[in-house]
Amino acid sequence: MAKEDAVSRFCAAAAQLSIEVEPVRYPDGTRTAAEAAAAIGCELSQIAKSLVCTGPNGAVLALTAGHNRLDLEKLSAIVGGDVRMATPDEARAASGYAIGGTPPFAYPVPVPTWIDPALLAHELVYAAAGAPDACFPITSAELQQITGAEPVDFVVSR
């Protein structure tokens, strides 16, 4: 699927949830949190990484601040069973998007979601909008509300 199709599809899905998304495109892409922060001109900790994992009952989502690293042992304790990073195919099946451009919501089926408290320290955060070269701004409060994410410590701070 073309990048534009994925971004348009995400924007349409967000609109169905009554969420207005205004994606910004970056010609060189933003495959890493550091690249996204540099392109946007924000703090690395304002980048919301949507990390799809696989747990004992299927997919789970860890919304992680750009400067932090996911701790799978902590997330496993929260979920109540072993959790591992989803393969690219598993991530696409759960979210509907390729890794690198995975947005934080608008998935085919709701996914249990947790949010890194470091994201909530910022009023505004930036998340992928369906493709590696597209992101969108959203308030951290709205991101938490839309995803139903529970703030929990599941990271290793860098």
| Dihedral, 129, 131, 8, 5 alpha carbons, nearest 10 | -170
Please compute Rg for the chain using Cα positions: 14
Strand partners for 124: 139
Is 28 or 56 the better-scoring residue by pLDDT?
A: 56
Q: What percentage of the chain reaches a pLDDT higher than 90? A: 82
What pLDDT sits at residue 124? 97
Which of 2 and 22 is assigned the larger pLDDT?
22
Average pLDDT, the chain: 92
- Neighbour count for residue 82 (Cβ, 10 Å): 12
Residue predicted with more confidence, 38 or 158: 38
pLDDT tens-place string over residues 98-155: 998 999 999 999 999 999 999 999 999 999 999 988 999 999 999 999 999 999 999 9
> Is-contact 71 148, C-beta < 8 A?
no
Average pLDDT over residues 6-28: 90
Domain ranges of the chain: 3-157
Query: Would you place residue 156 in the very low, low, confident or very high pLDDT band (cuts 50, 70, 90)?
Result: confident
pLDDT band at 1 (very low <50, low <70, confident <90, very high): very low
E strand map for the chain: 24-25, 47-55, 58-65, 68-70, 84-85, 113-115, 124-128, 134-139, 150-151, 155-157
Query: Where does the pLDDT of residue 26 fall: very low under 50, low under 70, confident under 90, or very high at 90 and above?
Result: confident
| Class of the CATH-defined domain 3-157 | alpha beta
